[in-house]
Structure 1
Amino acid sequence: MVLMEAQMAAVYPIGPVYNQVTNSLKPRCFAALKRIFEIYARDNDYVLSNEGLIHIYYRCFNIPLMPFQSRGLIESIQEQCPEGVKENGLTLDGFLVLIVTMLIKQGKLKTLWTMLRTFGYNKDLRLADEMIPYSSLKRKPDQTVELTDEAIGSLRRTYNRFDNLGPQMMESLFETAPERPWNEAPYKYAVEKTSNGGLSLEAFLSLWSLMTLLDPARSLEYFIYICHPDDPSSAVHVTRRRELDRKEKNSERKVVQCFVFGPKNAGKSALLNGFIGRPYDDDNRNVLADERYAVNMVGNSGLTGDAKKTLVMKEIPYQEDGLWLTNEALASCDVAIFVYDSSDEFSWKRSIDLLAEVSTISKDAGLEFPCLMVAAKMDLDSFPMAIQESTRATQGIGIETPIPISSKLGEFDNLFRKILTAAEHPHLCVTKKD
């Protein structure tokens, strides 16, 4: 008997689901149960009807729950928690009271774990691997994963459930997930917050696109948590290989990744801040050794395709001893820009050296991509012969003359649209071979 009880405790543990000290559900168990509730209650104003309760029971145990039995459960909850019943159905509070009083407190942990595992949860109360269609994410290094229009529509509807996606609403949005996915780098500072610390719709969708680009498996997992798709594989698609884009002289990617190179103090961090609408700060620079991302949606007027695309700017930290970029990292680059301080001749020369170094590495690896030069800090006086020298150098290697910008003045000369144009025509703005 003791051995059997020990085996039951190991297979159906109480630790991950319930805190016996505070007499409350553990956060991940709460998230899982809320997701199960929403799957069957979302089409009924988030009230779990008598029929919904019957469907959950049958799905988990393959045994029909008779209508009078489900009504009896609802009536029992109404006696214990009047606010847990609405329009003859269970609210989320009522559903959770049902789980705690009818299952956990009565020691029916096998029933609870059967329910959790039926809905795809593993022992850590995350979705099990078999619930995530990894096969739909298979790709070559020069391919990326993007959200489909169907997935973006689902995310828009999810966002619109909330009047204002401020910090508290963000917490509510991800209550069906085991953690909040954007609380740390590279997502935490990749978009600008609204005045109340929340996210605009564009920032919200941009972060999803960034997560799908960098970690598609995690993105798909969290999409399942909050959008409850019938077919998760329909939420993503793999883009065409870049080498085919170059051959076809056209790219239809909706998410473009731009690598931002440049020497120290060239203005890279200020450029990324300006890109997401963050106020200019003379002292604001990326002091981290790690790569930094900024993501936003950019108007695409004048180009074929969508009205807006998502542009991901990736700042590459400057290294005095040379670049440490793997072929796999370079394969994810759609466009590279090389930023220099237009008032500093050394900055210009170092930027040209970086361009030559990156071009050589990428060509040797068969990973050519468009390159643009960006003359930053145009609010300062240019170094002598700057225009003539930069024009001669860029024309000599077959790319456009430097694009003048001033992050301090908020003047970017359509830089971000020009990056999209370069990405859309990947055979242009490629440095000439020696």
Structure 2
Amino acid sequence: MRKDVRILLVGEPKVGKTSLIMSLVSEEFPDEVPLRAEEITIPADVTPERVPTHIVDYSGNYANVICIVYSVNNKKSIEKVSLVSLSAVNQIHNCSMVPLILVGNKSDLVEHSSMETILPIMNQYQDIETCVECSAKNLKNISELFYYAQKAVLHPTGPLYCPEEKELKPSCIKSLTRIFKVSDLDNDGILNDNELNFFQRTCFNTPLAPQALEDVKNVVRRNMTDGVKDNGLSLKGFLFLHTLFIQRGRHETTWTVLRRFGYDDDLELTQEYLFPMIKMPPDCTTELNHNAYLFLQSVFDKHDKDRDCALSPEEVKDLFKVFPYMPWGPDVNHTVGTNEQGWITYQGYLSQWTHACRSLEYFGYLGYSIIYEQESQAAAITVTRNKRIDLQKKQTQRSVFRCNVLGDRGSGKSGFLQAFLGKNLQGQRRIREDHKSFYAISTTYVYGQEKYLLLHEVMPDFDFLSEADLACDVVCLVYDINNPSSFEYCAKVYKQYFIDSKTPCVVVAAKSDLHEVRQHYSLSPHEFCRKHKLHPPQPFTCMNHIHHAHLYLCVRLIHFNAV
């Protein structure tokens, strides 16, 4: 919502523009009216919306709302309203987005209303929000005039409603649909009384009385057949209520709901909502906390309709209907654990959320801060202890670790990742090329504690490894025991990038089911590891069964080195 409002009054001479401003300020009609009033600023604490408001009767650099003033006792003044409208709309900066308000002044001089004459003009211009008849002399509707002007800026009708079609605009329907789905905690397509009361408290800080709740549902019942189902509000009924609010001039109600759920004036989720600031000191990382995982569990249960502890493609699609895009591609099924049908398991689902920074945005779409009544989804994040302190204490409380997997082409890196997910060579061969993943995330246990390990396959490029390629908690150097040229790449990468670093390294002898050949490098893999005080090469194969000893060793190294 805007931090201030600038109101511009335009119109023919002698229609009372300056008088309106002076009557508002002094609360009395001035005996002498200057040709032009100075800019008036109304402090935030005396306005209903608590927003400072600036009022001018001349064309400034910009205006948030234009009040077109005419005299209700002057036919020529009324006839010129449309000309003034065109002129104002064409001249004001960013004119197409500026709402207009028609102001019929001097109502004390006539006994009839000008609304019948003004109505065709209002129908002609979509940007005209409303028409107010007032009297600067009698102070009639003066406060109301400027309240409506302020309201037109802070709670505009334009983004929400199409008056010609008498229905909500598509972008508004999309936003309200997301809000409905987030509020539908049991995902049955209906807002029951508990969900409606939670929604009411969330948006308006007060619950609905039982009779008021029934009155709302009765209004919907009288106007549509499928707005109320099983004594709860359907999506159609929810959208109808907001249409009714707007048609009755209560669009601030809809805007209150939209803004509570993170939307800006363009019906886009704000950057502040999606990406709240997190203060993270150097050498620290971020992880999801206990409440975040409880929330993820509730989201999983909400969409696992068949209760098979896995998400089918249809259930995944339903989960992400509150997103503006599909965040998970087909590679996710080869990044985390799946069942025999290839569907993401509960454990695999939790693993996919370990990337805390991206999870902030996703938690925003899912409504974490709304459902858990937090200031922002930053409350779902824990900043871990400084790594230097972990190093000193030789222990860490972290639960998520990153392992970068390096090796020459054909060394078995991809098989290494997929084996971590429980897929043998036969299962790996069924993976389509465009569905392959360079990541694998799952859990392993160290001394009875569950740890998430994120494996990242780094593309082989000895001449250039980026900071992201080197930023990790542990490194796996993978070579093919059946390829005499394979180990040389691992040796060179280690000596170039890791020999003087504190990042622990593990050498993995892949394809250990094959015949081991002599490596062309000057030292054998065992000699190299002994010379550089590394653990001996860990044998690995995904041909028949899967060995996790190398991964257990990785996490042990992390745990004891506390990197």
Instruction: Point out where structure 1 has 5 or more consecutive residues left out of the alignment.
Output: 429-434
1:427 positional shift:
6.3
**Is the aligned partner of 1:6 residue 2:132?**
no
**Equivalent position to 2:318, from 172, 179, 182:** 172
Question: Offset at 1:305?
Answer: 5.5
Alignment-derived partner of residue 382 in structure 1: 516
Paired position in structure 2 for 1:309? 451
Root mean square deviation of aligned Cα: 4.0
Per-residue deviation at 1:167?
A: 1.5
CA distance in 2 between partners of 1:81 and 1:53 (Å): 19
CA distance, structure 2, for counterparts of residue 402 and residue 275 of structure 1? 18
Shift in CA distance, 283/205, structure 1 to aligned 2, threshold 3 Å: closer
The aligned counterpart of 1:297 is 443
Q: How does 1:279-290 map to 2 (within 5 A)?
A: 279-280=424-425
Output the CA distance in 1 between the equivalents of 2:249 and 2:312. 39
Cα deviation, 1:186-245, whole Å, max 9, x if unaligned, reads: x57422544445321011100111x31x53532442453598222244422011222222
Aligned 8 A contact 1:146 1:255 in 2:
yes
Q: Does 1:349 align with 2:488?
A: yes
1:373 to 2:507 alignment: yes
The answer as to whether partners of 1:174 and 1:226 remain within 8 angstroms in 2 is no
1:148 is the counterpart of 2:289: yes
Alignment pair present for 1:406 and 2:541: yes
Aligned AA for 1:372? V
What amino acid sits opposite 1:182 in the alignment? W
Aligned to 2:48: none
**More strand by proportion, 1 or 2?**
2
**Match 1:267 to one of 408, 412, 418:** 412
- Equivalence for 2:395: 250
Say whether the 8 Å CA contact 1:37–1:92 is kept in structure 2. no
Judging changes above 3 Å, is the alpha-carbon distance between structure 1 residues 7 and 140 closer, same or farther for their aligned structure 2 residues? farther
Take 1:58 and 1:160, find their aligned partners in 2: how far apart are those partners? 24
- Counterparts of 1:168-247 in structure 2 under 5 Å? 168-183=314-329, 187=332, 189-209=334-354, 211-212=355-356, 215-222=358-365, 224-225=367-368, 228-231=371-374, 232-247=377-392
Is residue 276 of structure 1 aligned with residue 416 of structure 2?
Answer: no
Q: Deviations over 1:43-97 (max 9, x none)?
A: 9995332x86577567656899776554333113224444432454424443233
Instruction: Report 1 or 2 for greater relative contact order, CA contacts < 8 Å, sequence distance ≥ 6.
Output: 1
Aligned-pair identity (%): 24
Cα displacement (A) at 1:254: 0.8
Aligned length: 407
Task: Sort the Cα spacing of 1:378 and 1:253 in 2 relative to 1 into closer, same or farther, 3 A.
Answer: same
Change over 3 Å in CA distance of 1:319–1:23 after alignment to 2: same
Superposed CA offset, 1:368-425 (max 9, x none): 2110000001122111379982211101101100000112333325222221111111
Answer yes or no: is 1:157 the counterpart of 2:157.
no
**Distance in 1 separating the partners of 2:391 and 2:454:** 20
Change beyond 3 A, Cα 1:23–1:167: farther
Indicate if the aligned counterparts of 1:291 and 1:316 stay in contact, CA closer than 8 A: no
Deviation at 1:334, TM superposition (A): 0.8
Q: Tell me if the contact between 2:182 and 2:366 (Cα under 8 Å) persists in the aligned partners.
A: no
Which whole-Å CA distance do the structure 2 matches of 1:227 and 1:59 have between them? 7
Question: Are the aligned partners of 1:190 and 1:295 in contact in 2 as well (CA < 8 Å)?
Answer: yes
Q: Which amino acid aligns with 2:324?
A: P
**Aligned equivalents of 1:386 and 1:405: distance in 2?**
21
Secondary structure of the residue that 2:454 maps to in structure 1? Answer: strand
Alpha-carbon distance between aligned partners in 2 of 1:340 and 1:87, rounded to the nearest angstrom: 62
**CA–CA distance in structure 1, aligned partners of residues 326 and 494 of structure 2:** 38
Distance in 2, Cα, partners of 1:416 & 1:17: 57
Letter in 1 for 2:127: A
Per the alignment, residue 261 of structure 2 pairs with 119
Name the SS of the counterpart of 2:367 in structure 1: helix
Output the amino acid matched with 2:530: Q
Return closer, same or farther for 1:390/1:167 CA change in 2, 3 Å cut-off.
Answer: same
1:127-165: CA deviations, max 9, x gaps? 434446834x32245322111122212212321232242
1:17·1:29 contact (CA, 8 Å) conserved in 2? no
Question: Aligned with 1:175: secondary structure?
Answer: helix
Structure 1 residue 261, shift from structure 2 partner: 0.6
Normalised by the length of structure 1, the TM-score is 0.78
Change (3 A) 1:390 1:43: closer
Which of 279, 295, 301 is the aligned partner of 1:138? 279
CA–CA distance in 2 between the matches of 1:53 and 1:283? Answer: 50
Greater Cα shift, 58-67 or 260-269 = 58-67
Residue by residue over 1:103-149, the C-alpha shift from the partner in whole angstroms, topping out at 9 and shown as x without a partner, is: 466776554223201333224545434446834x3224532211112
- Are residues 1:84 and 2:227 paired? yes
Amino acid in structure 1 at the alignment position of 2:409 = K
1:95 aligns with 2:95: no
User: How big is the shift at 1:253?
Assistant: 1.4
1:56-71, aligned counterparts within 5 Å? Answer: 60=203, 70-71=213-214
Deviations 1:160-182 (A, max 9, x none): 23224211112222333433322
Deviation at 1:355, TM superposition (A): 1.3
- In our comparison, the structure showing a higher alpha carbon Rg is 2
Out of 329, 338, 359, the residue aligned to residue 498 of structure 2 is: 359
Measure, in 1, the Cα distance between the counterparts of 2:248 and 2:352. Answer: 43
1:107–1:179: structure 2 CA closer, same or farther, 3 Å change rule? farther
Contact between 2:405 and 2:456, CA under 8 Å: does it hold in 1? yes
Specify the SS of the correspondent of 1:117: helix
